[in-house]
Amino acid sequence: MPTPKSIAFLEAAIAADTDACIPWPFYVKKGYGRFTMGGKNCVAHVFACRAVHGPAPTLEHQVAHLCGLKCCVNPRHLLWSTQSENIMDEFILGRKRPSRMPTRRRKTEVKIALRLPAHAGMLPDYD
Ligand SMILES: [Zn+2]
């Protein structure tokens, strides 16, 4: 059985030695690459993340794009992240304006991010 183009593309993306975005060239829905495998609908960036970084640590974890390009399947740009971490990353990386979120929730997200060592290097230096 020939390898479907989408699987071959994902395998190449996973093996690629590049820091550039690898946009999904096939079917895209709501910004995310999609394909079918064995009759199941799959999300391309989740497949790439799982293949390289392993399964989601918990059920709360989703795949986050560090680059902000939803259809990117470069595993170097993907990581497992909780929704709170994901929202905070978008603030820090400047992809989401805080004004879009209710103030109470925004403060909570900032507190969560400040507690996480993974975000420490990304916060501004207040010397
Ligand atoms: Zn990317």
pTM for the whole thing?
Answer: 0.68
Better-predicted residue by pLDDT, 124 or 85: 85
Q: Has residue 14 been placed in a domain? A: yes
Give pLDDT, residue 105: 52
Q: Has residue 127 been placed in a domain? A: no
Residue 43 lies in domain: 5-120
* 11-20 LR contacts (CB < 8 Å, sep 24+): 13/48, 13/73, 13/74, 13/75, 14/48, 14/51, 14/52, 14/75, 16/74, 18/74, 18/76, 19/74, 19/76, 20/74
> What is the C-alpha to C-alpha distance for residues 24 and 72, in angstroms, rounded to an integer?
6
Q: How far is the CA of 55 from the centre of ligand 1 (A)?
A: 20
Closest CA to 11 of 22, 27, 19, 1: 22
The answer, yes or no, to whether residue 10 has pLDDT greater than 50, is yes
**Cβ contacts of residue 127 below 8 Å, gap of 6+?**
none
Give pLDDT, residue 83: 78
The answer, yes or no, to whether residue 90 has pLDDT greater than 90, is no
> What is the C-alpha to C-alpha distance for residues 45 and 31, in angstroms, rounded to an integer?
11
Q: How far is the CA of 118 from the centre of ligand 1 (A)?
A: 19
Q: Has residue 125 been placed in a domain? A: no
The answer, yes or no, to whether residue 103 has pLDDT greater than 80, is no
- As residues whose CB is below 5 A from the ion ligand 1, the structure lists 21, 67, 69, 72, 74, 77
| pLDDT band with cut points at 50, 70 and 90 for residue 94 | low
Give pLDDT, residue 123: 46
Domain count, the chain: 1
Q: By the 8 A CB rule, do 5 and 26 touch?
A: yes
Kindly report the average pLDDT of the chain as a whole number: 80
Q: Has residue 126 been placed in a domain? A: no
| pLDDT band with cut points at 50, 70 and 90 for residue 104 | low
Q: Has residue 58 been placed in a domain? A: yes
Q: How far is the CA of 52 from the centre of ligand 1 (A)?
A: 15
